[in-house]
Amino acid sequence: MKKSITFAGGCFWGVQAYFDSLPGVLKTTVGYANGTKEQVTYEEVCSGNTGFVEACQISFDENQITLEQLLQKYWKIIDPTLKNRQGNDFGPQYRTGIYYNLEDEEEIGTILQQSRDEIAKKNSKPIMTEIKPLEIYLLAEERHQKYLEKNPNGYCHIKW
C-alpha cells in the first residue's frame, strides 16, 4: 500500500538522496513545507522570512518499508536537538520536522509521537524536531530535484 510522509532535515538535497537509496521508497520530491505563501522561490525561502522549511516528500510502499523503519532512518541523519540548523546550514528554513497528511493523523500520529519520545530518551538535550500536519507543500524548482544525482560532488551535510 502506498503512503507518504514529509521530512525536513536541513538542506533537502541530502535528505532526498538518502531516502532515494532505500528499498521500498517509490518516489521522492523536494519542496517547501508549511509556509505562509501560495507560491515561493528558493531564494525567498532562503531569506528565512516565509515560514517554509526545505523538505523531502517520500512516497513509500509500506509492504516493503514501514513508517517506523523510515523514522528510524530519519533520526539517524539529523541532529534533532538543533534548532533551525543542520550541518553548515542555519535559519528557520533548515529546521527539522515531520509533516503528515491530516487524513492520516489518527493512524500515524501515535507512531510519530512515540518515535520522537524514544529519541528524547536517548538525548540529554530537548528535541527540537516539530511534528505537525502538512498544511502546504510546494515543489521546489527542477534544478533542486535529485540535485546530488545531477551534481555528485554537491554539498551534503548527511554522512551515510
Is residue 135 in some structural domain? yes
The residue assigned the cell 532505500 is 22
The residue segments making up the domain with residue 82 are 2-150
Question: In this structure, are residues 10 and 86 in contact, taking their beta carbons and an 8 Å threshold?
Answer: yes
**Mean pLDDT over all residues of the chain?**
95
Is residue 158 in some structural domain? no
Show the CA angle centred on residue 151, arms to residues 149 and 90, nearest 5°.
100
pLDDT at res. 46: 95
Alpha helices in the chain (DSSP H): 12-20, 42-46, 67-77, 105-121, 147-150
* Residues marked as catalytic: 11
pLDDT at res. 140: 98
Residue 160: pLDDT band (50, 70, 90) is low
Q: What is the pTM of this model?
A: 0.95
Residue 112 belongs to domain with CATH number: 3.30.1060.10
Alpha helices in 27-151 (DSSP H): 42-46, 67-77, 105-121, 147-150
What is the number of structural domains in the chain? Answer: 1
